[in-house]
């Protein structure tokens, strides 16, 4: 049972990080002053790709931590 909770926590945390990465990743851009970049869904996002990677990693870490703390509190 404990192993399944760990697996669920890891999967959910990685999925949350991946969702944030996909939503923030710049899909296209226009070289104006200042630059304008858009996601694959058409809304404006930061032009630097590292921002989306950092946000995805931070989200995965925070979701994993929250789920881990929630599982520990139940036991």
Q: Which of 52, 50, 48, 51 is nearest to 34 (CA)?
A: 48
pLDDT of residue 71: 81
pLDDT of residue 31: 78
User: pLDDT, tens digit, for every residue of 11-55?
Assistant: 999 999 999 999 999 988 777 778 889 998 989 999 888 999 999
Q: How many whole angstroms separate alpha carbon 49 and alpha carbon 1?
A: 39
What are the φ/ψ torsions at residue 38 (nearest 5 degrees)?
-130, 150
pLDDT of residue 32: 79
Q: pTM above the 0.95 mark?
A: no
Q: Is residue 4 pLDDT above 90, yes or no?
A: no
What are the boundaries of each domain within the chain? 2-74
């Amino acid at each position: 049972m404990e192993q399944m909770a760990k697996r669920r926590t890891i999967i959910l945390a990685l999925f949350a990080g991946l969702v944030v990465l996909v939503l923030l990743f710049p899909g296209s851009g226009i070289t104006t002053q200042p630059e304008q970049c858009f996601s694959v869904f058409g809304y404006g996002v930061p032009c630097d790709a590292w921002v989306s990677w950092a946000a995805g990693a931070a989200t995965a870490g925070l979701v994993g931590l929250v789920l881990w703390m929630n599982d520990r509190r139940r036991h």
